[in-house]
């Protein structure tokens, strides 16, 4: 289909023109003009409160953004996602991660086969495995109960479960720690195994393709470690399980059939936490809490599908992101969870947003002439305040921020929590309103340092608040960003569910390996690579 280039659409052009006038309006003035702004530009749904009032926007901005969403057929594209159409066109696949948390009981045929019973069956096997591990009834080859889980995977087969295990660590079973190994650097595996015993360790090998270099190398390291200790291949049957969409490869690797947990090619890696990729999480927090998380996902799925645009959380986040990236000139986007449990959430979102929407060609094969996904980054508050917030407040670029916080803490030291909330709200307020030279002079700041003490303000932020960090809330938050990413893909007219940009480097690494090992000459490489290889060989 030949869709109109986004930047030529009248709705896009109208936003461009409107942005020119909005850039001149300070958030201080927008708030002064409307005492109800903080309530008017806020939305509460599915237990999440979104305050987007501290973005430079007006009713007109929202009207134009919703018009853009309509003109991009977002509603119809959303129907296509949830009907199982093959919208991952460049890989010829439907996009069905939402089915993993669909408890409606409706069948979902993929190529003539209802996949819902398959999803349920794998989940029941996961729950049985989790039960065995949690109760101490998973007995290793040496007769001892397995008490450590080492999850080996990378990208989507690592970031989701790693982030969720950290986010829900409050609910974890304390005598069943989960460790994550992803990096090809041997230090990652070695440093993890240093404190473990093969007698009590279960490995989960998670790889959709079961061919990824890092995961296969770490899996081989784990196998050697086990075999060196047990001197018996049968040990693998008790100490290694696989999570994969390529079960044949897992079987060929030596994993017992009953230890292979399948997921499917219609689950994108970065969307795979609710699949068997979530096994270490289920083992850590238990099947019930895992199911609570899935219910949270499902609640947000249903909200995204059915809420009207003005009340639709993912759509609003998507439109605000497009507003900043394409019309207000923001090149990056910061996600700042005021929760130590969510410290890995920005890293998880980096893959979700940048691998999905870091594309430069539209769905009609044309190079785009507008910005797509901004660079996403972030750290938890309050640590970041003492590191990079300086740039957020006084640097030369405005960075839109998502602050994420919780009304209640799960932990004791409640007084800390109130201080934490005070800091969160303070940062957003300081970004929005800044501090003028007049105010500072009035407060007695000497004239010669006034320029350095001034805060320009009008720096945009969203604040997302929820009651407390439960498994259900985590599911909602993840699904919120997943659907934001989907909506932005439609608004930018790009394919969000492939990731061809990761392939070239992988191919070149394969070609360079024998040259680094000295098995092949490096003469045909460029002069920089050749010199680097020579340097390493000399060492
Ligand atoms: O290299 C990128 C990527 O393909 C991701 O999209 C994926 O999540 C990751 O590698 C891991 O792939 P696999 O699960 O097949 O090992």
Crossing angle of helices 59-71 and 74-83, rounded to 10°:
50
For the record, the structure tokens of 407 come out as 């009304």
Give the pLDDT band of residue 198 (cuts 50, 70, 90).
very high
> pLDDT of 67-92, one tens digit each?
999 999 999 999 999 999 999 999 99
CA-CA-CA-CA torsion sign (512, 514, 516, 519): negative
pTM as predicted: 0.97
Ligand 1 nearest-atom number relative to CA 215: 16
d(CA 229, CA 197): 9
Q: How many Å lie between the centroid of ligand 1 and the Cα of residue 207? A: 7
Catalytic residue list contains 393: no
Contact between residue 405 and residue 335 where contact means Cβ atoms under 8 Å apart: no
Q: Is the pLDDT of residue 431 over 90?
A: yes
240 beta partners:
203
Task: Kindly name the residue from 63, 416, 506, 517 that is annotated as catalytic.
Answer: 506
Probe residue for ligand 1, chosen from 93, 152, 155 as the CB with the greatest number of ligand atoms within 8 Å: 155
Residue whose Cα lies nearest atom 5 of ligand 1: it is 155
Of the residues 386, 442, 503, 538, only one is catalytic, namely 386
For residue 539, name the pLDDT band (cuts at 50, 70, 90).
Answer: low
Mean pLDDT on 141-151: 98
Does the pLDDT value for residue 176 go beyond 70? Answer: yes
Which of 323, 221, 324, 208 lies closest to 275, judged by CA?
A: 208
Q: How far is the CA of 196 from the centre of ligand 1 (A)?
A: 27
Q: What is the pLDDT of residue 111?
A: 92
Buried b (16+ CB within 10 A) or exposed e, 408-427: ebeeeeeeebeebbebbbeb
Q: Ligand 1: distance of its center to the CA of 157 in Å?
A: 7
For ligand 1, is residue 157 a contact (CB within 6 Å)?
Answer: yes
Residue 3's pLDDT band, with cuts at 50, 70 and 90, is confident
Comparing C-alpha atoms, which of 295, 265, 264, 263 is closest to residue 279?
Answer: 263
Mean pLDDT of the chain: 97
Alpha helices in 26-158 (DSSP H): 27-33, 37-40, 59-71, 74-83, 116-135
User: Which region holds residue 462: left if phi is over 0, alpha if psi is between -120 and 50, else beta?
Assistant: beta
285: three-class secondary structure by DSSP: helix
Of the two residues 312 and 2, the one the predictor is more confident about is 312
Give the DSSP H or E segment for 202. strand 201-206
State the distance from the centre of ligand 1 to the C-alpha of 184, rounded, in angstroms.
Answer: 14
Convert the pLDDT of each residue in 329-346 to its tens digit: 999 999 999 999 999 999
Cα-only R_g, the chain? 25
Catalytic residue among 77, 214, 353, 355: 355
pLDDT for 156 equals: 98
Predicted confidence (pLDDT) per residue in 91-101, tens digit: 999 999 999 99
- Say what percent of the chain tops pLDDT 70: 99
The string of DSSP letters for 161-201 reads HHHHHHHTGGGS-TTS-EEEE--SSHHHHHHHHTT--GGGE
Nearest CA to ligand 1 atom 3: 155
Looking from the CA of residue 244, the nearest atom of ligand 1 is 14
Ligand 1 centre and the CA of 214: distance in Å?
10
Quote the pLDDT of residue 538.
Answer: 78
Is any atom of ligand 1 closer than 6 Å to the C-beta of 156?
A: yes
* Nearest to 467, CA basis, from 430, 501, 499, 421: 421
Picking from 32, 18, 24, 15, the residue whose alpha carbon sits closest to that of residue 69 is: 15
Does the active-site annotation cover 386?
Answer: yes
Q: What is the pLDDT of residues 436-488, one digit of tens each?
A: 999 999 999 999 999 999 999 999 999 999 999 999 999 999 999 999 999 99
CA of 213 to the centre of ligand 1 (A): 10
Structure tokens at 267: 């689950």
Whether 499 is in the pocket of ligand 1, judged by its Cβ within 6 Å, is yes
Query: Is the CB of 405 inside a 6 Å radius of any atom of ligand 1?
Result: no
Q: Is 60 a catalytic residue?
A: no
């Amino acid at each position: 289909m030949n869709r109109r280039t986004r930047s030529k659409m009248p709705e896009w052009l109208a936003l461009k023109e409107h942005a020119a006038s909005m850039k001149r309006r300070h958030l201080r003035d927008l708030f002064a003009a409307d005492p109800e702004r903080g309530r008017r530009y806020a939305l509460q749904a599915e237990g999440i409160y979104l305050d987007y009032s501290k973005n430079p926007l007006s009713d007109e901005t929202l009207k134009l953004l919703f018009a853009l969403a309509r003109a991009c057929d977002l509603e119809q594209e959303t129907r296509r996602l949830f009907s199982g159409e093959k919208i991952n066109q460049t890989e010829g696949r439907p996009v069905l991660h939402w089915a993993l948390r669909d408890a409606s009981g409706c069948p979902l045929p993929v190529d003539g086969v209802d996949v819902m019973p398959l999803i349920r069956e794998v989940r029941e096997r996961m729950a049985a495995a989790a039960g065995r591990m949690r109760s101490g009834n998973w007995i290793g080859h040496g007769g001892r109960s397995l008490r450590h889980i080492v999850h080996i995977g990378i990208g989507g087969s690592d970031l989701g479960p790693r982030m969720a295990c950290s986010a829900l660590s409050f609910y974890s079973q304390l005598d069943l720690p989960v460790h994550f190994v992803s990096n090809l650097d041997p230090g990652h595996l070695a440093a993890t195994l240093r404190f473990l015993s093969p007698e009590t360790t279960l490995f989960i090998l998670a790889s959709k393709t079961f061919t990824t270099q890092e995961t296969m190398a770490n899996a081989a390291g784990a196998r050697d470690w086990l075999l060196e200790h047990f001197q018996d291949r049968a040990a693998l049957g008790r100490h290694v399980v696989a999570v994969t969409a390529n079960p044949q490869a897992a079987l060929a690797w030596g994993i017992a059939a009953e230890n292979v947990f399948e997921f499917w090619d219609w689950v994108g890696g970065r969307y795979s936490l609710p699949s068997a990729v979530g096994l270490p999480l289920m083992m850590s927090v238990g099947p019930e809490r895992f199911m609570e998380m899935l219910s949270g996902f499902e609640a947000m799925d249903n909200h995204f599908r059915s809420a009207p645009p003005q009340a639709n959380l993912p759509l609003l986040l998507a439109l605000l992101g497009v507003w900043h990236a394409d019309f207000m000139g923001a090149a990056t986007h910061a996600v700042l969870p005021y929760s130590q449990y969510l410290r890995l959430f920005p890293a998880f979102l980096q893959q979700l947003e940048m691998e999905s929407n870091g594309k430069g060609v539209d769905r009609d094969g044309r190079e785009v002439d507008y910005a797509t996904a901004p660079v996403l980054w972030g750290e938890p508050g309050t640590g970041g305040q003492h590191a990079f917030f300086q740039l957020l407040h006084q640097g030369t670029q405005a960075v839109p921020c998502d602050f994420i916080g919780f009304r209640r803490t799960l932990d004791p030291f409640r007084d800390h929590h109130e201080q934490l909330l005070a800091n969160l709200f303070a940062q957003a307020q300081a970004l929005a309103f800044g501090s003028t030279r007049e105010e500072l002079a009035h407060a007695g700041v000497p004239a010669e340092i006034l320029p350095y003490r001034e805060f320009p303000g009008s720096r945009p932020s969203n604040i997302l608040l929820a009651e407390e960090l439960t498994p259900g809330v985590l599911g909602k938050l993840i699904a919120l960003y997943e659907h934001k990413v989907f909506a932005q893909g439609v608004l930018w007219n790009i394919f969000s569910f492939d990731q061809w940009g990761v392939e070239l480097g992988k191919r070149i690494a394969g070609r360079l390996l024998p040259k680094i090992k000295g098995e092949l000459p490096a003469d045909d490489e460029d002069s920089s690579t050749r010199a680097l290889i020579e340097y390493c060989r000399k060492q």
